[in-house]
Structure formats: structure tokens, C-alpha cells
Amino acid sequence: PGDWYYSSVLDLYERSLMAGTSGHTFSPAQGTTRAMMVQMLYRLAGMPEAEAPCPFEDVPAGAWYTRAVHWAYAEKIVAGVSAAQFAPDEPITREQLCAMLYQYARYQGLPVHQSADISRYSDFDEISAYALPALRWACASGYLYGLSDTVLAPKGGANRAQMAGIFARFTASPD
């Protein structure tokens, strides 16, 4: 209960948006994957069926994330790392996470016009062009914070505690 991420984890767990790594553990320092993020968005959306086939060769039928990836691809919430690869087990980067949240917000018809000036971060030039609007939006909306006053770490990963914090702030937002 004293950890900074406790209320976020509890909130997401109680709403069945994020599960533990076992019946009694959360594993806050464990990394998160692209599939984990898509599964959380899929749960948030109410687990709808996908309307279109999915082109990703590395998303096998029957995996715990298959329906989520098919849905997210059909709704243009996610893209692959290539035309045929989604890389579900790869660690998610902070810019990928924000891009998925941004596209999900657009899918839901939420405003995505907020834009922070993030050029002050020393690693600003590392941000991929596709992710720049999403990172500006996520920072302006208070979903994503820099790791420090000068480091945003767009290519860095997010552990389960960080993912819970970002996702809880996103789902608690009135917009």
C-alpha cells in the first residue's frame, strides 16, 4: 500500500484492466510487452470482435492476445513493426505505448488536440516521427512524465508499475 503505484494497480485490477503475474503477485519491476498493452486497451474497449483479418504472421491463433491484436489492428489502434510482424513479445517502448493510447483515444472520439512542447528534453531527437504527436499529447494530458526534467526516454521501456500509472491516469481522465 505504500508504493507510489499501489492505487493505480488496485484501480486497474478492480476494473479487470490489468492482472497480476500470479494470484498473489504483481511484479512491478517486470517489463511490459506490446501484447500486454494491446490486451489492456482491448479490455478497456469491452473486448469487441475484430471486423477484419490480421496480417501479422507472429500473432498465432489462440494466443491470449490474438483477439486483442486483431481488434486493435482492425481499428487502426496499432500497426506492426513491419507489414507482417507485430512483435507481441517485444518490450513496449514509451513512444509505442503513447502512440497506442493516442490512437485508442482517437478511436473513442476523445480529443487529442493537446500538445506540449517537449523539445526541452535532451533526447527529443530520438523520438520517431510517427510518435511525436502522441508524445506531445500524452505529456500535455499528464499521462506521461519524463524520467527526469531533461530525459523523456521515448525508446525506453516501461515496467509494469509505470504502465499501470500511465494507464490509470489515461483511464481516469475526463477527456
Q: Using one digit for the tens of pLDDT, what is the confidence trace for 87-113? A: 999 999 999 999 999 999 999 999 999
Q: pLDDT over 90 for what percent of the chain?
A: 93
Q: How far apart are CA 34 and CA 42, in angstroms?
A: 12
Q: How many CB atoms lie within 10 A of CB 103?
A: 19
**Residue 19 has which C-alpha cell?**
492482472
Number of H helices, E strands in the chain: 6, 0
Question: Is residue 152 classed as helix, strand or coil in its secondary structure?
Answer: coil
Beta-bridge partners for 31: 159
Q: What are phi and psi of 24, to 5 degrees?
A: -130, 5
In the predicted model, is pLDDT for residue 52 greater than 80?
A: no
Q: What is the pLDDT of residues 54-75, one digit of tens each?
A: 899 999 999 999 999 999 999 9
**pLDDT band for position 51 (cuts 50, 70, 90):** confident
Q: How far apart are CA 21 and CA 25, in angstroms?
A: 6
Q: How far apart are CA 161 and CA 30, in angstroms?
A: 8
- Residue keyed to cell 473513442: 108
Distances in whole angstroms, Cα of residue 13 to Cα of each of 21, 62, 77, 79: 12, 24, 23, 27
pTM of the model: 0.94
Amino acid identity of 15? R
**Residue 119 has which C-alpha cell?**
523539445
What is the structure's pLDDT at 174?
Answer: 56
Question: Is 9 in contact with 161 (CB distance < 8 Å)?
Answer: yes
- Strand ranges for the chain from DSSP E: none
